Amino acid sequence: MASNHSQKVEAIADHADADNDSSHVNAKSIVLSNEAKVEQANAHSLINPKKEITFTVGTNDIAEAAHQIADQKAAAAKAAEEQAAAEKAAAEQAAAEKAAAEKAQQEVQQAAQNAAAASAASAASASSSAATTASTETTTNKGTFKLSFYDPSVLGSGLGYGGVAANLSVFPKGTRLKITLSDGTVWYRTVNDTGSFAAGNPNQLDVAMPNSQIPSAGVLTATVEVVG
């Protein structure tokens, strides 16, 4: 830059009046002075370059601390939210298990109640059936008879213990009898035999019974009815 400037000044000086030496000398002096100033300025610029102000992002301690606190709060909030969700899920599961247990217990109790009700209904039905049978049973009262007892097995008979021996003219074989003792005991027997006693004792029945069960009195009286 100094060389171009001096060339311009010298050119101006060369065109000056040749007789005016003082003007020429002055022009050159100005040129030299200017060149010296320029060189001095350049040297100063090299020794003391301009300092640029720079900014480093993220080096603000306060801002960094604020960011860290915000991150910690966010992490704590997330952890609290996850904990609350886990507790809620656990509570819901516990409630579901409790409800299932209560339902199972109720079903067991209901089943027991149903079984009891069915048993009671069956018993009531059986009782009703028996009562109906008793109410529809027709009997003919034949009066009071004397009762004696015998064990068919001892006599070598295979007729069993469900029958009685009777006067066949009074009660033919196969007649079903209802025998009611004085204490209210009721026996049902079927006439299946007769005996020598029957000819002279038409009002007596010989009841088949094991010896171990024959009443100690030996002879009883009872009301006898024909069933059917």
Where in the chain are the domains? 81-115, 137-225
Q: φ and ψ at 19, to 5 degrees?
A: -80, -15
pLDDT digits (tens, 9 = 90+) for 119-158: 777 776 665 555 555 556 799 999 999 999 989 888 888 8
- Give the per-residue pLDDT at 70: 86
How buried is residue 205: exposed, middle or buried, by Cβ count under 10 Å (0-12/13-18/19+)?
A: buried
pLDDT digits (tens, 9 = 90+) for 50-74: 555 554 554 567 778 888 888 888 8
End-to-end CA distance of the chain: give it in Å, rounded.
157
**pLDDT above 90: percentage of residues in the chain:** 33
- Among 14-23, 88-97, 205-214, the range scoring the smallest mean pLDDT is 14-23
Strand locations in 151-215, DSSP E?
163-165, 176-181, 186-193, 204-208
Nearby residues of 139 by Cβ (< 8 Å), 6 or more positions away: 178, 225, 226, 227, 228
pLDDT digits (tens, 9 = 90+) for 165-201: 999 989 999 999 999 999 999 999 999 888 676 667 8
Residue 18 has pLDDT above 50, yes or no: no
Query: Looking at residues 81-94, what average pLDDT do you find?
Result: 91
| Contact assessment for residue 143 and residue 180, using Cβ atoms and an 8 Å cutoff | no
Of 174, 196, 199, 178, residue with least CA distance to 187: 178
Q: What CA–CA distance (Å, rounded) separates 133 from 84?
A: 72
pLDDT band at 227 (very low <50, low <70, confident <90, very high): very high
Give CATH superfamily name and number for 137-225. RlpA-like domain (2.40.40.10)
